[in-house]
Structure 1
């Protein structure tokens, strides 16, 4: 029994101990639960606060989303609206749009934005790109930006678009660009006004700028002249209207011209349909096809009106205050520029006129000196023609001499026409005949306006010549020739040009008269010399005609050797006088049939020196002395009177030596018969290099073989 109690006591103690341990464990577990509950309560409190924060954030985000004044929307890959802000709803005019394609809501379009479409197709790679879109039905322009929204794996799921309203900015930009364009045009006009002194170029620049600034279709400019306003430059005008424009001179008395000039204010004219009397009065709208409005702008400088600008519109146009300010600004600018350009042109024109007058005086003096320095009519004409183009505008110059026997004009000299010297034009084939009949000059400013053209004038017109001046050349009170200048431009000649040509024609007439007088004197002189040479040759019947034959042969040789006309003239006179020293030789010696004695030979050999002595006192004949004195010198130095040798003997004398010997050998003499040409040639060849110059002999042989010398 006691043992059972003992066992029960032990069992109770063990149970008590277990319970104490269990209680202790439960106490510990209760502590853990208590901490857990506390933690859970804290977590619930945090969750509540987080939920409130999320709710607030959601409201704040929603408020922020809707606070954006520009339309903003989000769509999925199928372009269906997922979300949009209030601004978008306002533009769309509805809030019932979720799930609908945005381009069917706002903005209303047939298809999505191009960049939006490419964004979806590229899986959102085109992030942040922009596109400018104008929506006509609300008259707005938006700058649209695109941003992709991706999931955690980076896949594109949505696209958010921001539509920034840039309408006002675009308007301001347009105005700014317009102002910049206007300022650029005004600056370019100012620059042109400073740099350009050419009125035509300046006005062309001005009307192009004005047309651009005001948006005109046509712009015309006129410059003030003595009687009205002359057409200057045109912009936008058709080719068919240009002749009418260029021919038009606006009268000062036209009411609208008078009004804009008197008030110094622009005036807007409307088409005749609006009963504008001024437009009808001047016919402005009748030839300016399709023009509805014309703005007339006066150009008034410090000295008065300098021009007009007509700005034409093919639409009804009305002037604004801004336009008035622009017009006033550039009209003042252009007026000053036109005045300066005109003053510059006048100063340049006066300087050019003065320079031209100085050049004319210089050339006229040069012509005067030149034609007085020669008495050769051909040379006179060549000088005049060569120098004339320096003082007068001409594309052709002709000198035609009158041939009364043939009844017409013979072309003598000139340029510009393909005419051979000697070309003949009958009197009835040209209006030049009037100049001969009246002795008055002829001035034709434009051949196209002549009622009836004779063959020569028709040929000139067909060749492109439009104007000409013809002046008579008078010699001894008679019209002997015509001097003509012509141009391929109409109306090119001035009164001063006519006076200059008249004076030149007078100078040429005087020079030709002097040349003719000299020619008459020379002919008389040569006739006298021929008579004298005949008298010399007549001292002996065996020498009849000898001097003239020697002269002719000498001239042929000299021409072949390239002598000039002046040298040939000297040779001609010298040839006729080469035996003048024989005047002092007795006829008995000249006609002696036998061999001359030594004394007679010495007497004969004196005639060259004696001839030189006879000529020496005559100043005008001194150039002939070398021929007269040395024509009996031998090439090897064995001749007389001085024994000159080779090139020391003047060439003209060497030529006459050969010609004299040829004639002497071919002529009969009291003591022998004349030799035939073949024997003469053999003798020349035998004596070439001894008695005769080999070069002269060679030339003679060439002439002889060519058959230019009569046997």
Structure 2
């Protein structure tokens, strides 16, 4: 009994202590729970605040983007209006003026098609002048379709001298019946003080959003261009009235001669030299030259002429060294009656004065509405040129500009042809990784030999094309044979030997290739008659083929192959000499070796 009481006395306090600690822990747990809930609520509040801030930030960003877009639009419109203003300030050529303004108007208004018409007093109608993005198929219709003033939209536009917007009906626009799918057209009238000057029309295939700001811009274009056209017309009329034509029969005769010269010469240098000499027959002068604009070299290239030695033909005269630059900038002719009375002459003009030249006249040469050069006439007499001379030179400058553009087109076509040939050559070489660049290297060697022999320009051009295409027959050869590392079998060799003949067959259908086919077909003939495909011998092998045989072999010996490393030039020279008279024409070998010697 006493033992039980003793145990109770010990256990009960312990239970009470544990119970107390448990209550204490429970209170701490409740406190911790309350603290956690508080933190969770605070975090939720912070999350909500951040979401609101993020939404505000997104709205601000959207507003900034919108403002940025509006600003960019304003800058773009301002830029184009400044371009229009600059064009109007410096150009008196109506064609160039209209084309530049129309380009800018097209970008500003965002129309699908932009058309310009000028008023013809004699025909009492608006005559087409320039178009942008008009489908090619209907250009002839545009170019031959005049528009009478009696169209309702034109009457309204010119009566109020404001831009007009008109939605086309289901049947399209009565003003432009040949253009399908028109939704809306705008008319920007161009009016002079007394008469119509013309109008610009924007054509939209979808309904445009034209704002009040857009209308103000179009009104600005109307006002500025009308003023510029009026000034250009007055300037032209004043020149026409101040000049009287003389020596008409002689002028017409020389002009006809110049026309024939331009038509018969496709190369700009030859054409310019011939025309310059004929100008001397037409207008008395001591100096006549043509310089072409070269923006990359920041100057003029002296291309043709006579009468001066201060600049060599082909040399560059920097823009900053001559007042000729003002002709390019202004687009107008330049006439100096007496150089000795001009102060602050630039280096070129100082040189001309030292040579005794006192007066000169300069006319811009225009091709595709761009000044590409300047025609210069000089005299050692003061006031040597007349208004009639100016009129004649302007006509000549126009003809020369057309001829230069034709020459450029021909050069571009030749470049396209050579580019196509080179692309085809690259495709041939790409048949095997071991022949990459082979045709270009063969071409380089062949041209060196051709120049050493004394080939003409045409012969060198034919040799170049033949070199690039000499392996075109390999397009029909399996890559596995071309890339084979080991010795070819008899059957494989037979296939390889077919490529010269196949190349000739491929080119046979192209009449412009007839002069190069012999070189392609016979470039594997041996001088001793043991080559292929026809076993030709000695001089019986076409010269072009004999050149290609040497050029092809030099590159083949120097290039790596799957079965060997390429040889050094010293070893190649030894092999050429050893095989001279057997595989190679000795004369061709000698020319090549001489070229190598000169290069080293």
Q: TM-score, normalised by structure 1?
A: 0.47
1:390 aligned to 2:281? yes
Q: Which residue of 1 aligns with 2:251?
A: 357
TM-superposition CA deviations, 1:198-238 (whole Å, max 9, x none):
xxxxxxxxxxxxxxxxxxxxxxxxxxxxxxxxxxxxxxxxx
Within 2, Cα distance between the matches of 1:563 and 1:638? 27
Q: Give the Å deviation of 1:454.
A: 3.5
Where does the alignment leave 5 or more consecutive residues of structure 2 unmatched?
Answer: 1-245
* Equivalences for residues 73-88 of structure 1 within 5 A: none
2:498 to 598, 606, 611: 606
Q: Which residue of 2 aligns with 1:446?
A: 338
Q: CA RMSD of the aligned region, Å?
A: 2.2
- Judge conservation of contact 1:473–1:508 (CA < 8 Å) in 2: yes
Q: Which residue of 1 aligns with 2:539?
A: 647
Q: Which residue of 2 aligns with 1:256?
A: none
Within 1, Cα distance between the matches of 2:416 and 2:470? 19
Q: Give the Å deviation of 1:627.
A: 1.6
Q: TM-score, normalised by structure 2?
A: 0.56
1:411 to 291, 302, 324: 302
Change (3 A) 1:364 1:662: same
1:465 aligned to 2:357? yes
Change (3 A) 1:497 1:651: farther
Q: Give the Å deviation of 1:579.
A: 0.3
- Judge conservation of contact 2:262–2:271 (CA < 8 Å) in 1: no
* Equivalences for residues 588-607 of structure 1 within 5 A: 588-607=480-499
Q: Which residue of 1 aligns with 2:478?
A: 586
* Equivalences for residues 691-706 of structure 1 within 5 A: 691-706=583-598
1:511 aligned to 2:365? no
Change (3 A) 1:504 1:354: closer
Within 2, Cα distance between the matches of 1:517 and 1:361? 23
Within 1, Cα distance between the matches of 2:506 and 2:422? 17
Change (3 A) 1:386 1:645: farther
Q: Give the Å deviation of 1:430.
A: 2.6
Within 2, Cα distance between the matches of 1:406 and 1:358? 37
Q: Give the Å deviation of 1:391.
A: 2.4
Within 1, Cα distance between the matches of 2:543 and 2:399? 38
Q: Give the Å deviation of 1:355.
A: 5.8
* Equivalences for residues 471-550 of structure 1 within 5 A: 471-550=363-442
Counterpart secondary structure, 1:623: coil
Q: Give the Å deviation of 1:451.
A: 6.0
1:675 aligned to 2:567? yes
Judge which range, 441-450 or 534-543, deviates more.
Answer: 441-450
Q: Give the Å deviation of 1:450.
A: 4.3
- Judge conservation of contact 2:258–2:275 (CA < 8 Å) in 1: no
Q: Which residue of 2 aligns with 1:380?
A: 271
TM-superposition CA deviations, 1:124-152 (whole Å, max 9, x none):
xxxxxxxxxxxxxxxxxxxxxxxxxxxxx
TM-superposition CA deviations, 1:340-383 (whole Å, max 9, x none):
xxxxxxxxxxxx94662354134223322233xx2x33333333
2:264 to 356, 366, 370: 370
Within 2, Cα distance between the matches of 1:661 and 1:480? 45
Within 1, Cα distance between the matches of 2:555 and 2:346? 57
Q: Give the Å deviation of 1:620.
A: 2.3
Q: Give the Å deviation of 1:625.
A: 0.9
TM-superposition CA deviations, 1:79-110 (whole Å, max 9, x none):
xxxxxxxxxxxxxxxxxxxxxxxxxxxxxxxx
Within 1, Cα distance between the matches of 2:356 and 2:400? 28
- Judge conservation of contact 2:463–2:516 (CA < 8 Å) in 1: yes
Where does the alignment leave 5 or more consecutive residues of structure 1 unmatched?
Answer: 1-351
Within 1, Cα distance between the matches of 2:566 and 2:371? 53
Q: Give the Å deviation of 1:698.
A: 0.4
Counterpart secondary structure, 1:671: coil
Within 2, Cα distance between the matches of 1:464 and 1:550? 53
Within 2, Cα distance between the matches of 1:544 and 1:672? 16
Q: Give the Å deviation of 1:426.
A: 3.5
Change (3 A) 1:382 1:647: farther
Within 1, Cα distance between the matches of 2:352 and 2:572? 58
Count of aligned pairs between the two proteins: 354
Q: Which residue of 2 aligns with 1:184?
A: none
Query: Which structure is richer in relative contact order (CA contacts within 8 A, separation 6 or more)?
Result: 2
TM-superposition CA deviations, 1:543-580 (whole Å, max 9, x none):
11111110111111111222222222221111111100
**Larger radius of gyration, structure 1 or 2?**
1
Within 1, Cα distance between the matches of 2:571 and 2:561? 16
Change (3 A) 1:557 1:404: same
Within 1, Cα distance between the matches of 2:473 and 2:437? 16
Q: Which residue of 1 aligns with 2:242?
A: none
Q: Which residue of 2 aligns with 1:25?
A: none
- Judge conservation of contact 1:359–1:391 (CA < 8 Å) in 2: no
TM-superposition CA deviations, 1:307-360 (whole Å, max 9, x none):
xxxxxxxxxxxxxxxxxxxxxxxxxxxxxxxxxxxxxxxxxxxxx946623541
